[in-house]
Amino acid sequence: MEPFTSLLFLLFVFLLAAVSLFESSYYRLLQEETLDRGKFSPWFLDRMKKTRETNIFLILTKLLLLLGISVTFFLLVGSFFAHSAVNTIVELLILWAILIVVMEVIPYTRRMIVLKKMSPDCLLVARFLYIVLFPLTRFWGIFLGLYATEEEEVQKEIETLLTEESDYEALEAEERRMIRHVVEFGDTTAREIMVPRIDMVTLEVNTPVNGVIDTIIKCGHTRIPVYREKIDDIVGVLYVKDLITYLYNGEPVVLEDIVREAAFVPEAQKIDDILRLFKKTRKHIAIVVDEYGGTAGLVTMEDILEEIVGEIQDEYDTEEVLIQKINNAEYLVNAKINIDELNEQIGVSIPSEEVDTLAGFLYNLANAIPEPGQKLSFGKLDFTIEEVVGQRIGRVRIRIKGREDE
């Protein structure tokens, strides 16, 4: 036997032994209690705890070993026999039989008979292969997109939990909604949850005390933005408790002197950052500014919390019904409703990339200010404008074509 042939034979036997031992230790590799911490480095143990990364390593390592066995086998056989179609088929069958014995029969027998007696020393082969092949398996894992960050993995698992239906309904609808909002919390911006400029309750800095008190009684708010001449020039925020203190002490009230400094955030600011700002500055309200520096709206601590737990109603709030179901195919909707909420509530797919509210969508759809009674259509949806107050759309009737009336 020539030296090259002998070398191929030894390499072939070594690879067969390696893949057989590798298969035998497959399950023990994932069991931390089988790993002697005195024989294995913390780095290796830590990598083995990462099940996804370990599985990728195992799969790619087996593929590399099989590739090596196949190439070595055909080179070895080719040194004795000429290649032909018949010979190739016979060689494949022989290789298939060898692999069945080496990768299935022997490892299975070892696991069933001597698994408990098996020394963890057999895992030294796995550690050796891991160290040698780690750069290669890591490269191919990244190249094939098999690795994901821990955050992506957690997000994927949560989304699977929310979308998969189980016979036992482990999560109630409200729990699913709350978890979904927590997952989306970091991507939500101030623009999506703010009280728009048109709905803001504000005070002009020169408003007399009686006018301030009347406004407070009507709105019931404990913090009110104060502006000079126009709402784009916010000078601060009036805290009602500060006003009460001044009135109780009989001191003259000048709004500009008792307002507190306002916090300002851009429309695109993520609400988790705003929450951190509130915690740091101990404020509960911030003015939202647009790209030109004008006032776009305001956002409060309550608005942020409602993104997780839903609408919060206190003893002074009157619950506002945004969606009124008429039948299975028809709804009466307040046009200021958020499009994503509307889609979720009535099961439609109105695009929300360019606008946040149903009113904004209808303005774009009509390409003008809609008039009462005007009808608009989008896909399977028919819209009828029921109410317009000034330039603002109030209520809209939505009919979903294709749904049977209840």
Q: Tell me the C-alpha distance between 208 and 206, whole Å.
A: 6
Q: Tell me the C-alpha distance between 313 and 334, whole Å.
A: 18
Phi first, then psi, for residue 108 (nearest 5°) are -65, -45
Phi first, then psi, for residue 382 (nearest 5°) are -110, 125
CA distances from 143 to 52, 86, 116, 138, 147 (A): 16, 37, 38, 8, 9
Q: Which of 345, 225, 218 is nearest to 285 (CA)?
A: 225
By the 8 A CB rule, do 348 and 401 touch?
Answer: no
Q: Tell me the C-alpha distance between 123 and 87, whole Å.
A: 37
CA distances from 49 to 19, 54, 122, 307, 395 (A): 22, 8, 18, 35, 56
Q: What is the mean pLDDT of each run of 10 residues along the chain (406 residues)?
A: 67 69 57 48 50 62 74 72 65 70 59 49 59 66 59 58 51 64 77 90 93 91 93 94 90 88 93 92 94 93 82 61 87 90 88 87 90 91 90 91 69
Q: Residue 9 burial (CB < 10 Å; 0-12/13-18/19+)?
A: middle
Left if phi > 0, otherwise alpha if psi is -120 to 50, otherwise beta: which for 20?
Answer: alpha
pLDDT score of 168: 42
- Give the 3-state DSSP-derived string for the chain, with helices as H, strands as E and coil as C: CCHHHHHHHHHHHHHHHHHHHHHHCHHHHCCHHHCCCCCCCHHHHHHHHCHHHHHHHHHHHHHHHHHHHHHHHHHHHHCCCCCCHHHHHHHHHHHHHHHHHHHHHHHHHHHHHHCCCCCHHHHHHHHHHHHHHHHHHHHHHHHCCCCCCHHHHHHHHHHHHHHCCCCCCCCCHHHHHHHHHHHHHHHCEHHHHCEEHHHCCCEECCCCHHHHHHHHHHHCCCEEEEEECEEEEEEEEEEHHHHHHHHHCCCCCCHHHHCECCEEEECCCEHHHHHHHHHHHCCCEEEEECCCCCEEEEEEHHHHHHHHHCCCCCCCCCCCCCEEEEECCEEEEECCCEHHHHHHHHCCCCCCCCCCEHHHHHHHHHCCCCCCCCEEEECCEEEEECCEECCEECEEEEEECCCCCC
What are the residues whose beta carbons fall under 8 Å from the beta carbon of 128, sequence distance 6 or more?
none
Q: Tell me the C-alpha distance between 304 and 88, whole Å.
A: 69
Which two tokens mark 226?
Answer: 């104060």
292 residue type, one letter = Y
pLDDT score of 167: 43
CA distances from 248 to 205, 221, 241, 245 (A): 21, 19, 10, 5
CA distances from 363 to 53, 192, 340, 382 (A): 50, 18, 17, 15
Q: Tell me the C-alpha distance between 403 and 331, whole Å.
A: 12
Which domains can be identified in the chain, with CATH numbers?
3-147 (no CATH), 151-187 (no CATH), 190-309 (3.10.580.10), 323-400 (3.30.465.10)
Q: What is the reported pTM? A: 0.56
Positive or negative CA dihedral for 118, 120, 124, 129? positive
Cα angle 392, 393, 395 (rounded to 5 degrees) comes to 145
275 residue type, one letter = L
